[in-house]
Structure 1
Amino acid sequence: MPPASLARTFAAAGFAAVVAGVLAVSALHVLPPTASISPIRRTISEYAYYETGWVFNLGVLILAAGSLAVFVALAYARLLRPASFASLGLLLWSAGLAAVVYFPKHDWSVGPSLHGHIHRMASLVAFLSLPLGALLVTVMWRRERRWRGSVWLTAIPALAALAFFSVIIGAYLLTPYTGLPWWDVIPLGFVERGLATFEVLTVLALGRWAWRASSTPDDGDAAAATAPDR
């Protein structure tokens, strides 16, 4: 199968998987027993400890797989080089999501745990690496007029995700001055859901970009010739 066809196939599959994963996790916000969880104060990962936790785990894994498919589509569309910092950021996002499922968050009815600490670090890596990787892709193509729309459609949600991420970092840094746990300083559930929303929109924008690039083979060839190694 030609690279352009493979790019379209992976872009479409990735786009569909990302939407399916998001819908699965979103359903937990309105269906019992997790509908009672506050979306303002409680984190999304808490859903994993309920009887419908398998839906959360499956949804996140589908999202990770869909994001990986989008990465492959970008590579086949020659929008980024597999051996680059941009690629590393996108891969760490998928790997971080998988780790979030494998290592559940702290069960505070029992207390802190090693898997809970790993879960937190995997979340931080995933949420930070995706927008940074996506922004590197936009930097590579910012001067190409034909990709100007795709650059902005990718950069805007990526920057918004970093803005939400900075709220969490700010709350952590202010802990010595507030005298409160950092997760009580901000509406953590709302901030995390806002962050997750813009991360997903970033992946969808990249998938759309890969589809468009693979639909114009001549542009794909030009991309291969001019893409900088980042």
Structure 2
Amino acid sequence: MIAEEQPVPTSAIPRTAVSPVHGRLALVGIGVAVVIAADLHLRLSTQVSPVWQTLSEYVYGRLGDRSAAPLFGTMCLALALGSLALLAGLVRARRSPAVVVLLGVWCAGLTVCATVPVDPDGQARTFDGQLHNVAALTAFLALPTAALLLTRRGQLTCPWEQRRTAIRCLALGSFASVAVVLGGFVLTLLTDPTQQEVTLGLFERLLFTVDLALLLTMVRPLLAVSRKA
């Protein structure tokens, strides 16, 4: 007599990580960027105000007899490479092409910020400086947009679905921070820069922190096990 097969419980379905190699590479890149950012804040605290001056202005700091520009560039490139690893993981997981393109825009924007310096505070605006600003703004808009598209409803088997609420809340927080920074920047352009009323540096650092948290939340499913569809 042939024994009747019993249905396999859902909990017994094999689970697999989405793309652990890409996840680990992403964490390394993001981690290096965080360490360098902390180092710049600590060692240049007397030269660059974390309240009034933006992160990009660390390129004009001095570390002894050396410029801090290479260190700032390394920070941006490390974050770009970590994000590129996340992008590769998304491609492997066959996520929406729009998400991949937007994350690519984020990586490209970081690369431009690493290689093209912002204009010095109080000096005439140049093409390079404006290119830096446009690249930064584009990148800061592309990342949360990618996060929102990644977590659209109706994708129950999507590994990012379990973190949908956290990712979307961080994305909205990123948009809000961008709005404040952009509004403050426009206000500074229209008024006397010496009478700056919006703490651009503080809000940009808030934006940077939110985006780091957003990236880490997006990376987590690459490492975590998820039920095969």
In structure 2, relative to structure 1, the CA distance for the partners of 1:147 and 1:110 (3 Å cut) is: closer
Number of matched residues? 208
Following the alignment from structure 2 to structure 1, what is the Cα–Cα distance between the partners of residues 126 and 137?
17
Tell me how far 1:168 sits from its aligned partner.
2.5
Match of 1:193 in 2: 205
User: Among residues 77, 81, 88, which one is paired with 1:65 in the alignment?
Assistant: 81
Following the alignment from structure 2 to structure 1, what is the Cα–Cα distance between the partners of residues 160 and 68?
42
Tell me if the contact between 1:89 and 1:134 (Cα under 8 Å) persists in the aligned partners: no
Match of 1:153 in 2: 166
In structure 2, relative to structure 1, the CA distance for the partners of 1:179 and 1:22 (3 Å cut) is: same
Tell me if the contact between 1:74 and 1:206 (Cα under 8 Å) persists in the aligned partners: no
User: Among residues 5, 29, 52, which one is paired with 2:68 in the alignment?
Assistant: 52
By percentage of residues, which structure has more strand?
Answer: 2
User: Among residues 19, 43, 56, which one is paired with 2:31 in the alignment?
Assistant: 19
By percentage of residues, which structure has more helix?
Answer: 1
Tell me how far 1:211 sits from its aligned partner.
2.1
Tell me how far 1:174 sits from its aligned partner.
5.6
Following the alignment from structure 1 to structure 2, what is the Cα–Cα distance between the partners of residues 75 and 183?
47
* Code of the aligned partner of 1:35: S
Trace 1:113-128 onto structure 2 (pairs within 5 A).
Answer: 113-128=126-141
Aligned CA RMSD, in angstroms, stands at: 2.6
Query: SS where residue 106 of structure 1 aligns?
Result: coil
Following the alignment from structure 2 to structure 1, what is the Cα–Cα distance between the partners of residues 126 and 119?
6
Q: 1:86 and 2:99 equivalent?
A: yes
* Code of the aligned partner of 1:112: R
Tell me if the contact between 1:157 and 1:202 (Cα under 8 Å) persists in the aligned partners: yes
Following the alignment from structure 1 to structure 2, what is the Cα–Cα distance between the partners of residues 124 and 192?
11
Trace 1:1-230 onto structure 2 (pairs within 5 A).
Answer: 7-31=19-43, 34-36=44-46, 37-50=48-61, 51-78=67-94, 80-81=95-96, 84-108=97-121, 110-140=123-153, 143=156, 147-171=160-184, 179-180=191-192, 184-212=196-224, 215-216=225-226, 218=228, 222=229
Determine which structure has more spread, i.e. the larger CA radius of gyration.
2
Q: TM-score, normalised by structure 2?
A: 0.81
Following the alignment from structure 1 to structure 2, what is the Cα–Cα distance between the partners of residues 63 and 183?
33
Following the alignment from structure 1 to structure 2, what is the Cα–Cα distance between the partners of residues 114 and 148?
42
Q: TM-score, normalised by structure 1?
A: 0.80
Following the alignment from structure 2 to structure 1, what is the Cα–Cα distance between the partners of residues 84 and 159?
25
- Unmatched segments (≥5 aa) in structure 1: 223-230
Tell me how far 1:179 sits from its aligned partner.
4.1
